[in-house]
Amino acid sequence: MIEFVRNVRLWFAPEEVRREGGTPDYRFSLANERTFLAWLRTALALIGGGFAVDQFLPDLRWGWRAGLALALLAAGVLCSLRAVNHWVRCERAMRRGEDLPVSRFPAVLSVVVAVVALVMAVIVLVGWEG
């Protein structure tokens, strides 16, 4: 938990990361940044999908519509927070010469998106009533 709190502080003070270890090859830092931006694009897509479900499926029962929209929005929020945390963890590991951190988050995010997609597919196939 202490490590997580330290990482959160580093989200807002990335210059502090430079105090650890040595400077890695800039290509690795830039690749880490590109990965961060890819996670943010994924988060924005999930958030957009959540709003789309809410706005463009008015005939869907409110509970289903709200549930699917909130699941996508929550996944987008988690993805955006995970993006910055992963960026900090990887940058620190590279500076220290350690192995890059592993994460279960991609698997969890994939399962959440797959479940939402399956529910939406069932709704499309079965139809819905307002």
9, part of any domain: no
* 77 token code pair: 């929020």
3, part of any domain: no
Judged by DSSP in three states, 127 sits in coil
- pTM value > 0.85: no
47, part of any domain: yes
96, part of any domain: yes
How many separate domains does the chain show? 1
Mean pLDDT confidence for 72-84: 94
Whole-number Å distance between alpha carbons of 57 and 59: 6
Question: pLDDT at position 10, please?
Answer: 86
Which residues form the domain of 66?
28-126
Question: pLDDT at position 128, please?
Answer: 64
Q: Rounded to 5 degrees, what are φ and ψ at 15?
A: -65, -25
- Per-residue pLDDT band for 127 (boundaries 50, 70, 90) equals confident
Mean pLDDT confidence for 52-73: 90
Question: pLDDT at position 59, please?
Answer: 83
**Is residue 119 scored above 70 in pLDDT?**
yes
12, part of any domain: no
